Amino acid sequence: MALTEQKKQEWEETLRKGELISVSDKITDHTQGDLWEMLSQTRGNFFLTETNLIFVGGLLGAKTLNIPFNKITGLSLCNVGGIIPIMPTGIKVAYTDEKGKNRAAKCSVLKRKIWLECIKNKAHI
């Protein structure tokens, strides 16, 4: 994790205010990356907490994604980018949303194999 203890505390407070984590939840890992949806790319920060995978990005944190580990149904490596995805930096996260609908998110991070293993361990997959 590249965050200093002070930055970690600041982010935890921000995530609590945004109701993305509970009062008792803590950040366990962090990296910067991109969230891909169709052809759009949003740059931001990925966090692993004790219970969730969280993304906060876009202008003033306008785009968020919060996936509880117990809702993740599958993980795989994928390519990301434009019309023809060729960049081998993606992790596809399949999950069930709060309404019970199956969803998928494409997360682009460096050291994706390490992040994939961390998410697998936390999601018990």
Residue 93 sits in a domain of what CATH number? 2.30.29.30
User: What's the whole-number mean pLDDT along residues 30-40?
Assistant: 92
Helical H runs in 1-125?
Answer: 5-17, 112-123
pTM score above 0.85: yes
Residue 119 belongs to what domain range?
5-123
Confidence of residue 1 (pLDDT cuts 50, 70, 90): low
CA 99 from centroid of its chain's CA atoms: 19
Query: pLDDT tens digits for 79-100?
Result: 998 778 889 999 999 999 999 9
pLDDT of residue 72: 98
Is 76's pLDDT higher than 60? yes
Confidence of residue 58 (pLDDT cuts 50, 70, 90): confident
CA 54 from centroid of its chain's CA atoms: 4
Number of folded domains that form the chain: 1
